[in-house]
Amino acid sequence: MSRSRTSTPAQPAGPDRARRAFLRGAFLAGRADTRPEPLRPPWTDDGRVLDACTRCGDCLRACPEQILITGEGSFPEVDFGAGSGECTFCGACAVACRSEVFEPDRDPPWTTRAVISETRCLAVAGVHCEVCRDACGETAVRFRPRLGGPPHPELDPDRCTGCGACATPCPADALTLQAEAA
């Protein structure tokens, strides 16, 4: 008796981060998975990517800055440590995508902003360093003079585009980029 299968394979769902945290043993320590959600390409959001993305990789290949990588579950993620280290918001990833993943008319392209770690920043620790300011084309990172020590960094969230230019050259990895809560 021969059976023919005519059904199409189902597209696997996105990774369940809570379940993965449980399987990694987070329940034993009474803690949740503290890793931040992965940063998705501009003009997308997590739900849209996980629902519509076919994981074809067209957006990754189209990125001239080469900051898009294959992330968990083969979904596209932004890695500012790869390629040029910053997003120029050129839109090549959105143009290359054949699915309904990107919303190119969304302004701003994402709600990602830089965050300066007070415990890792060299300037806060008393070492003169202004690398992040020098890298920021939007002048979102400024340094306020302080008596008896090097200037203290301040981030203007209204000027920050979340492009990542400040985070990559930081010698102490004191800058991270995080999506703002909606």
- Whether residue 31 lies inside any domain: the answer is no
pLDDT over threshold 70, residue 173: yes
Extended beta strands in 23-181, E state: 68-70, 76-78, 112-116, 141-146, 149-155, 175-179
Of 110, 133, 151, the last residue of a domain is 110
* Alpha-carbon span 30 to 15, nearest angstrom: 21
Task: Say yes or no: 96 and 136 in one domain.
Answer: no
Model pTM score: 0.75
Domain extent at residue 137: 112-179
Domain final residue, candidates 110, 125, 151: 110
Domains of the chain: total: 2
Q: What is the pLDDT of residue 31?
A: 54
116 & 105 share domain: no
Same domain, 117 and 84: no
| Cα→Cα distances 114→37, 48, 62, 141, 167, Å | 15, 23, 25, 9, 8
**DSSP letter for each residue of 8-45:** PPPPPPPP-HHHHHHHTTHHHHT----SPPPPPPTT--
Q: Tell which of 66, 92, 110 closes a domain.
A: 110
Tokens of 21: 């945290």
Query: Is 44 within 8 Å of 101 (Cβ atoms)?
Result: yes
Binned at pLDDT 50, 70 and 90, residue 2 comes out as: very low
Q: Is residue 116 scored above 60 in pLDDT?
A: yes
User: For residue 18, what pLDDT is reported?
Assistant: 56
Average pLDDT, integer, range 67-92: 93
Dihedrals φ, ψ of 132, to 5°?
-65, -40
Q: Domain check: are 91 and 121 in the same one? A: no
Listed range (44-53, 59-68, 124-133, 171-180) with the worst mean pLDDT: 44-53
- Residue 84: DSSP 8-state: T
* Torsion sign across C-alpha atoms 25, 50, 109, 89: positive
Residue 5's pLDDT band, with cuts at 50, 70 and 90, is very low
Question: Which residue in this structure is represented by tokens 């059976």?
Answer: 3
Per-residue pLDDT tens digits for 45-61 = 877 788 889 999 999 99
